Amino acid sequence: MKAIVVTDQAAGTAGMKLAERPEPQAAINDVVVQVHASGFVPTELAWPSTWTDRVDRDRTPSIPGHELAGVVTALGYGTTGLSVGQRVFGLADWHRDGTLAEYIAIEARNVAPLPGDVDFTVGASLPISGLTAWQGLFDHGRLQAGRSVLAHGAAGAVGSMVTQLAREAGAYVIGTGRVADRQK
């Protein structure tokens, strides 16, 4: 399969190269997903997990990227709740190869069904910003209906998710942003 790999941390994004890699196999509780859309932020090239595994062993060449949307092509032993051919979106483990590839092996618990009316690119744009917004509002902020929320940068990725989630939870939302983003 084709994948974007990195081997030199000092090179930054200039060190990203298109390469041939073996297609991943599904381990226990994994699924293999054919990636239709993925997300990448350049800062992940500075994260230790891009370069080493959980016991600090070098894992280069590694495939960056964490957000994805695609179609399940294989199920690992013990995987339940998903099926081959199912549309999914999710967030890849930091210490495993990522989403800038044609296929990814990912723990089934890290993906969710993607409704048929949601575009793959939209699905791949949701996991990190959606999870960040959810954790800020509900896990840390303990948001309840009737409360007020101030969303700085309400037109941005996280801010737009904060605005929608808070409103859906029954909060009064005040958003700030740049004049150029007013229509968003």
Condensed to tens digits (0 to 9), the pLDDT of residues 53-71 reads: 999 999 999 999 999 999 9
Q: pLDDT band at 41, cuts 50/70/90?
A: confident
**Could you give all domains of the chain from N- to C-terminal order, each with its CATH number?**
2-117 (3.90.180.10), 127-181 (3.40.50.720)
Phi, psi angle pair for 61, to nearest 5°: -70, 135
| pTM of the entire predicted model | 0.85
User: Is the confidence at residue 38, as pLDDT, over 70?
Assistant: yes
Q: What is the pLDDT of residues 161-182, one digit of tens each?
A: 999 999 999 999 999 988 876 7
Calpha distance 114→147 (Å, rounded): 31
Query: What pLDDT sits at residue 180?
Result: 78
Statement: residue 184 has pLDDT above 70: no
